[in-house]
Amino acid sequence: MANSKFEYVRNFESEDRLLPNCWIIVRIDGKNFHKYSSKHNFTKPNDARALNLMNRSAFCVMKEYKDIVLSYGESDEYSFVLRKETELHNRRGTKLLTHITSLFSSSYVFHWRDYFHDQSMLYPPYFDGRIVLYPSDNNLRDYLSWRQVDTHINNLYNTTFWNLVQKGNLTNREAQERLSGTFSSDKNEILFSEFGINYNNEPIMFRKGTILLRKKIKNPHRDKLHQVVLPIFEDMMHDEFWIQHPEILSNIP
């Protein structure tokens, strides 16, 4: 088909090479998961099956894309951080975004049964995706802190809200009014004094979201180190995290 008279149509395609030397974030988010979670009877506010399925799908993406140095997931979203120097797909944005989004979606469907034993999938889920570029390491750290603070704020709110509704017998509206204008300390106090819950003892995956990192571990049968993707639950807003995991920023393979 070379040089047919139709070839010119290719000139309409636009270049989408992403800026060099920038961290590439691909963030995917479930489409209308408000409804999806409700139709599939996700437990409120957190369903460990659903979160573990998200983690599993992100794991599949990281297995395929070795240039993802870190992923962070909460609720129905996942952020994938590709190393600054990646030349994957020639840094073509549409390739990276569509591959990651579609691989994530198909993995979510593929592994559903492993997590939702008694709940069949009623209709296909899908995810939106976007790319954000960050030129500095600090921008990247602030991005991840932003997502993780979001997890904390939402989870504290949702945990308090659903306790007020499910155990405190308030209506949704009453619970919302009760929480309007409250600070974190107020919500911690409501949880503790009314429901005997110490928020800090809530499952760490719910409070902090899930970070997937590549780590080298020793294989007990052989001498060689081998790389695995591990879920960890730490605070990315603190310097300690970045000191503990220097390979993320320093581009150590």
Enumerate binding residues for Mg ion (CB under 5 A): 29-30, 33, 75-77
CB of 34 to Mg ion, least distance (A): 7
One-letter amino acid at 226 equals H
> Among Mg ion, ligand DGT, none, what binds residue 50 when CB lies within 5 to 8 Å by partner kind?
ligand DGT
CA angle (169, 173, 174) in 5-degree steps:
50
Q: Which of 18, 26, 42, 214 binds ligand DGT (CB under 6 A)?
A: 42
Under rule CB under 6 A, residue 127 binds ligand DGT:
no
Nearest partner of 146 among 244, 66, 77, 246, judged by Cα? 77
Tokens at residue 145, please? 């802190």
Determine the interface stretch with ligand DGT among 37-45, 58-66, 100-108, 185-193 (rule: CB under 6 A): 37-45
CB of 171 to ligand DGT, least distance (A): 18
Measured from the CB atom, the residue of 61 and 248 that comes closer to Mg ion is 61
Under rule CB under 6 A, residue 46 binds ligand DGT:
yes
Tokens at residue 208, please? 């902090």
Footprint of ligand DGT on residues 74-93 (CB under 6 A)?
75-76
- Phi and psi at residue 202, in whole multiples of 5°? -65, 155
Under rule CB under 6 A, residue 30 binds ligand DGT:
yes
Q: Which of 25, 26, 28, 33 binds ligand DGT (CB under 6 A)?
A: 33
CA distance 163 to 243: 37
Determine the interface stretch with ligand DGT among 41-49, 116-124, 193-201, 217-225 (rule: CB under 6 A): 41-49
Indicate the burial class of 159 (C-beta count within 10 angstroms; 0-12, 13-18, 19 or more): buried
- The kind and range of the H/E element at 96 are helix 93-110
Q: Considering just the CA atoms, what is the radius of gyration of the chain in Å?
A: 21
CA angle (183, 241, 19) in 5-degree steps:
95
One-letter amino acid at 141 equals R
CB of 54 to ligand DGT, least distance (A): 8
Do 65 and 80 touch, CB atoms closer than 8 A? yes
Determine the interface stretch with ligand DGT among 23-31, 65-73, 107-115, 164-172 (rule: CB under 6 A): 23-31
Under rule CB under 6 A, residue 227 binds ligand DGT:
no
Contact residues toward ligand DGT (CB under 6 A) are 29-34, 37, 42, 44-47, 50-51, 75-76
